[in-house]
Amino acid sequence: LFSLFQVVHAHKPHFMALHCQEFGGKNYEASMSHVDKFVKELLSSDAMKDYNRARVYLDENYKSQEHFTALGSFYFLHESLKNIYQFDFKAKKYKKVTGKEIYSDTLESTPMLEKEKFPQDYFPECKWSRKGFIRTRWCITDCAFDLVNIHLFHDASNLIAWETSPSVYSGIRHKALGYVLDRIIDQRFEKVSYFVFGDFNFRLDAKAVVETLCAKATMQTIRAADTNEVVKLIFRESDNDRKVMLQLEKKLFDYFNQDVFRDNNGTALLEFDRELSVFKDRLYELDISFPPSYPYSEDSSQGRQYMNTRCPAWCDRILMSHSAKELILKSENDEKIVIYDHIGPNVCMGDHKPVFLSFRIAAGAGKPIANVHKCCVVQ
């Protein structure tokens, strides 16, 4: 929380959206009891004292496998912000936001949001998945926009991800994200600009990355004795005493030099970040200038270290419709008023490093009488 509060203090947003995934952690049945403490601390903290209105939506109903997404969406409104309304999807009208309200368990009955879990057949390898999205709609001084909290499917096996380019998992994420984008611009409601942010689980093109990182290496294949299934790939330098460069297993990606993912924020690898290119006509993203957001070590003393479980990738993103891009106030001088960055670069914050986008809404955005307000969205 301290790292989050530092961002709030630095950027002082009038409207703040905080989107969380895997609320309660992977052991949510045991850990969900800690969520209430986290929420209370967030709402009552000194850093948030000037935010006199809040809406919190927590999907904690883990006993309902049919609906459970483990998503958490928090929205904070600064006391200086006037005329802010939230959309009621059932009544199809905006309602003025007052006070602080927390909703949990059965979010399906809350008309102020739309929540869906992806159909089971989207990812048949899983017994059941928590992947899905929550959508809310807001209007600040006549400027309306949707905020969508999303969690897409992960890579189940490094070996399978390595087999094809693009990978089979990339195709599954493509299908699910396309479903969400179609859903939020369908005919049921007026179309507005939208921001989609969360854990997209976008991965680098594994085949291309391995071929580049191990261009001069020889590959050794290790198979299971009983099934002949490939269980490990070892890439060794052709000379230099055949030094091991990379070991690849289902849940092992052990490359000998992690600096390649950190140096210059890993930007040399951005050419392999290709999953968003399919949606270039529908989604826009500011330039990435932070290192891959996953998978960080969960050792509290290793804030900058990656785990050797997956190839580091920019899983956590903030994307927007092309119309939303027009809401963002452009700088007329050298002042950096739009910031897209990560939080807690040297602090252990779990296996994902949160990212945030801070910007001002352009005067006149939405309608001519709009005022300028500062927003901060955090994944």
Give counts: helices (H), strands (E), the chain.
8, 18
**Residue 30 confidence (pLDDT):** 81
**pLDDT at position 218:** 96
Q: Which two tokens stand for residue 240?
A: 């230099």
Element (H, E) at 2: helix 2-11
Task: Judge whether residue 368 has pLDDT over 50.
Answer: no
pLDDT tens for each residue of 184-226: 999 999 999 999 999 999 999 999 999 999 999 999 999 999 9
- Token pair 């380019």 is found at 165
DSSP class of residue 78 equals E
Whether pLDDT at 63 is above 80: yes
The arithmetic mean of pLDDT across residues 295-306, rounded, is 95
Does the pLDDT at position 279 exceed 60? yes
pLDDT band at 344 (very low <50, low <70, confident <90, very high): very high
Condensed to tens digits (0 to 9), the pLDDT of residues 14-44 reads 999 999 999 888 787 888 888 889 999 999 9
Q: Is 157 exposed, middle or buried (0-12, 13-18, 19+ CB in 10 A)?
A: middle
CB 334 within 8 A of CB 287: no
Whole-number percent of the chain with pLDDT over 70? 95
pLDDT at 122 (0 to 100): 78
pLDDT at 124: 64
User: Residue ranges of the alpha helices (H) in 331-374?
Assistant: none
Please give the Cα distance from 350 to 309 (Å, whole number).
14
Matching residue, tokens 């027009």: 326
pLDDT at 314: 98
Whose CA is closest to 177, among 152, 146, 195, 205?
Answer: 152
Q: Is the pTM of this model over 0.85?
A: yes
Backbone angles phi, psi at 79, to 5 degrees: -60, -25
Strand boundaries in the chain, DSSP class E:
15-20, 51-58, 72-78, 84-88, 93-96, 100-103, 114-117, 132-140, 143-151, 193-199, 217-223, 230-237, 244-249, 252-255, 316-320, 339-342, 355-360, 374-378
pLDDT in tens, 72-130: 999 999 999 998 999 999 999 999 999 999 999 779 899 999 999 998 777 766 666 78
The per-residue b/e assignment along 6-35, b for 16 or more CB within 10 angstroms, e otherwise, is ebbeebebbbbbbbbbbbbeeebeeebeeb
Q: State the number of CA atoms in the 13 A half-sphere of 306 facing the CB.
A: 24
The residue whose two tokens read 């299971």 is 224
pLDDT digits (tens, 9 = 90+) for 246-273: 999 999 999 999 999 999 999 999 999 9
Residue 274 has which token pair? 């290709």
Q: How many angstroms from the chain centroid is the CA of residue 269?
A: 19
Mean pLDDT of 127-153: 92
Q: Find the mean pLDDT for residues 280-288.
A: 97
Look up residue 222 and give its two tokens.
Answer: 């290790």
pLDDT of residue 127: 62
What's the confidence (pLDDT) of residue 129? 76
Domain boundaries, the chain: 1-202+261-378
CATH superfamily entry for domain 1-202+261-378: Endonuclease/exonuclease/phosphatase (3.60.10.10)
pLDDT at residue number 62: 85
**How high is the pLDDT of residue 125?**
66
Q: Rounded to an integer, what distance in angstroms lies between the CA atom of residue 103 and that of residue 109?
A: 10
pLDDT at 369 over 50: no
Return the sign of the alpha-carbon dihedral for residues 46, 51, 52, 53: negative
Is residue 327 a contact partner of residue 365, using CB atoms and an 8 Å limit? yes
Q: 236-247: per-residue pLDDT in tens?
A: 998 878 999 999
Give me the chain's average pLDDT, please: 92
The position carrying tokens 């693009």 is: 166
The residues that bridge with 375 in the sheet, in sequence order, are 15, 359
pLDDT of residue 232: 98
